[in-house]
Chains A and B, each alone.
Chain A
């Protein structure tokens, strides 16, 4: 697609429920990242995918958080048994790993999913 697409744009859920957030990266981008932005905070790294594998999961805050990527394209971030502190904007970014040096270093972001846990 033309840009990184995320859905839903907004999600309101009750504490204890599971949620799934979806990211569709720019076509041809093999690197995919998830970040979280809590109110008034900068972006916090969660997980990085290269193709379908996740060589860096160091930012996932607990074992309630998991992510997968299939077909080297769409990725899903799942939060189980949501807690109020999970409320944040979840942003996805993708990056090309081939091409000009500059282009390979730029991550392009989606508009994010605003998650509210009541």
Chain B
């Protein structure tokens, strides 16, 4: 099974800072990579990146896929305390099951 690795595992910044979260994947036949935000229990969908669309943006959040480096980054600008969460990177494999990285726990201090 292909592996998804995220870094850093934990990050603490001050409100207003910009953060970059990393995700690397191993894949033979890339399909899609999905980012989720998990604040309490239910992961909520952020972005899906496919081979035909390498950058997504929504407000202060953006994500880029680097197919050559087999990696993706999630950027958050002008961070707010509400951005504190675990950010999960996942890859679609097999019968559409998701393989997840360990997640990055982001803490935004006021």
> Is chain B found bound to chain A in the same assembly?
yes
- List of A residues within 8 angstroms of B88 by Cβ: 42-43
Q: Is the interface of B mostly helix, strand, loop or mixed?
A: strand
Q: Convert B28-42 into 0s and 1s, putting 1 for each residue whose CB lies closer than 8 angstroms to a CB of A.
A: 000110101000111
B35 to chain A, nearest CB (A): 11
Interface string of B1-43 (1 = CB under 8 A from A): 0001010000000000000000000000001101010001111
Q: How many residues of chain A are within 8 Å of chain B by beta carbon?
A: 29
Give A73-100 as 1s and 0s: 1 = Cβ < 8 Å from B's Cβ atoms.
Answer: 0000000000000000101010100000
A: which residues have CB within 8 A of B? 4, 31, 33, 35, 40-45, 48, 50, 55-56, 59, 89, 91, 93, 95, 102, 105-112, 114
The CA of A59 and the CA of B93, in the complex, are separated in Å by 13
B36 to chain A, nearest CB (A): 8
A91 near B41 (CB under 8 angstroms)? yes
From A4, A45, A55, give the contact of B99 (CB < 8 A).
A45
Interface size on B, residues (CB 8 A): 26
- B41 touching A48, Cβ below 8 Å: no
> Bound complex: CA of A56 vs CA of B100, how far in Å?
17
Cβ contacts under 8 Å, A41 to chain B:
102
A31 neighbours in B (Cβ, 8 Å)? 96
Q: Which residues of B contact A59 (CB under 8 A)?
A: 97
B contact residues vs A (CB 8 Å cutoff)? 4, 6, 31-32, 34, 36, 40-45, 48, 88, 90, 92, 94-103
**Supplied contacts A43-B90, A105-B92, A114-B41, 16 more A-B pairs, CB within 8 Å:** A33-B97, A33-B98, A42-B4, A42-B88, A42-B100, A42-B103, A44-B100, A45-B98, A48-B96, A50-B95, A56-B94, A105-B32, A106-B34, A106-B48, A109-B42, A111-B41
Q: In the complex the two chains form, is A43's CB within 8 Å of B98's CB?
A: yes
